[in-house]
Structure 1
């Protein structure tokens, strides 16, 4: 099997924790061929097919120089057995255009994971609104007056931008409403941008759990990302501590309800974020935490992913 990864620059990978690297390593262990490109390497000329300048990659096993590459001419994406879209957020205009190019490659015969159209249809924060039975009281709005009313009703709230990542731009406002007006203005740009507001879930002290769902089935361990010090955010990028732990009954109930629905739409890999028993985000662009869960629990997450990828290609 020949697999193309559409990802960030290989030179930027931190291989001791990078999920895409762990996927590559497991594929190579099974004898599959690897290639990589960035979204900027993909193009489509009228009358032709979608192509990319790719790097044919061989893993070395050396942590300092972890790959070698062979120069190749442009190749059609449809000529690969699988194309794995692993470009990290933000989901900006260029990411959006990349999904259109990948969707055209699909029409030409490429098999792309996660499915490009489904990536566009599932903005990672808004996607939770489809499953209200699992969600803390939530408001999506541009209207500052609605935010104030929501705060008056719930007293302790979280405000966040819809396009944030890694915990960026997240604010907590308690019952005293300190700085609420300024935070609203900062996030919604005086009504120009839509934001999300949620009732604060106090179980964040026990961790913001990342639950991986692969091929519609949950990995049996989550990674609880626990805020440190006075920080309210558990994101690893914001200094949270990652602790692998078995799924709770609530975790499994959420994952088993949502996983098959999203898998049927072409999402081979999903990362559900859960605080307590509340779903807070559905990550579909580039879910992570493979290595942290594997290293701490002993459960081989990359192997489960490659099993699911091989099964999807054989279907």
Structure 2
């Protein structure tokens, strides 16, 4: 197979923990060839297919100079066996436009994972609305009055922007309501921007669990991201400690309910965030935690992913 990874700059990869790197390493181990580009390297012109300026690379096995470039070239996306969209959030306007270019490439025969339309249809905060039976008390609004009412009912709440990542912009407001007005004004920009408000779940002390679903099936281990010190956020980017552990019965129930639905829509890889018994987010753009789980449990998540990718390509289903 010839695989194209659309990702962040290779120079920025932290290879000891990067999930896209783990995918590349497993793909090369199996004899597949690897190319990479940035989202801005993808272009379309009338009379031609969607193309990208790509670098064909080879992994060296070294810690520092971990890849070498074999050649640089322009290639139609349909010329690759599979295109893997692995650009990290946020899902901004440019990411949105990229999904349209990728969808055009699909019409020309490209096989894109996760599928572009599914990426657009499942914003990572709002996708949980469809599965309300698995979530805790949650409000999406831009109205400060709604937020005050929600706080009065639940007393201890979390507020977060809909386009945040890595724990950025998350606030907790306790029963005293201290700074609720100021936080609301900051996040909703005076009523111009929607945000999400959720009842605080004390089970966060045991970790914000990343449950991975590959090809519609749960990976048997999750990564519990445990807040440290007086921090309320478990995100690894916010200093959380990652502890791999077997799925609980509830984790598995959630994954087995959501997995087939999301897979049927073209989402080969999904990362469901679970606190206690409740889903808080559904991550589809660039789910991570492969290496942390493998290093702590021996479960080779990258191998499970490439297995699923190969199965999709063998089945002849474009992006689904």
Is residue 57–residue 71 contact of structure 2 (8 Å, CA) maintained in 1? Answer: no
> Match for residue 274 of structure 2?
274
**Please, what is the CA RMSD of the aligned residues?**
0.5
> Match for residue 198 of structure 1?
198
User: Does residue 219 of structure 2 align to residue 219 of structure 1?
Assistant: yes
Q: Partner of 1:74: helix, strand, or coil?
A: strand
2: distance between equivalents of 1:198 and 1:14?
A: 32
> Match for residue 47 of structure 1?
47
> Match for residue 142 of structure 2?
142
Number of aligned positions between the proteins: 315
2: distance between equivalents of 1:94 and 1:38?
A: 12
2: distance between equivalents of 1:85 and 1:95?
A: 10
2: distance between equivalents of 1:12 and 1:170?
A: 25
CA offsets per residue over residues 157-203 of structure 1, 9 Å max, x none? 00000000000000011111011011110100010000000011100
> Match for residue 318 of structure 2?
none
> Match for residue 170 of structure 2?
170
2: distance between equivalents of 1:309 and 1:235?
A: 27
Task: Give the 5 Å matches for 1:1-315.
Answer: 1-315=1-315
The ranges of structure 1 where at least 4 consecutive aligned residues each deviate by more than 6 angstroms after the TM superposition are none
TM-score by length of 1: 0.99
2: distance between equivalents of 1:36 and 1:53?
A: 9
Q: Partner of 1:72: helix, strand, or coil?
A: strand
1: distance between equivalents of 2:302 and 2:125?
A: 25
Structure 1: unaligned runs, 5 residues or longer: none
CA deviation after TM superposition for structure 1 residue 73, in Å = 2.4
Q: Partner of 1:190: helix, strand, or coil?
A: coil
Structure 2: unaligned runs, 5 residues or longer: 316-320
2: distance between equivalents of 1:146 and 1:58?
A: 53
Structure 1 residues 38-47 or 63-72, which shifts more? 63-72
1: distance between equivalents of 2:104 and 2:139?
A: 35
2: distance between equivalents of 1:115 and 1:31?
A: 24
2: distance between equivalents of 1:147 and 1:185?
A: 11
TM-score by length of 2: 0.98
CA deviation after TM superposition for structure 1 residue 72, in Å = 2.8
CA deviation after TM superposition for structure 1 residue 47, in Å = 1.2
2: distance between equivalents of 1:111 and 1:71?
A: 23
2: distance between equivalents of 1:212 and 1:69?
A: 31
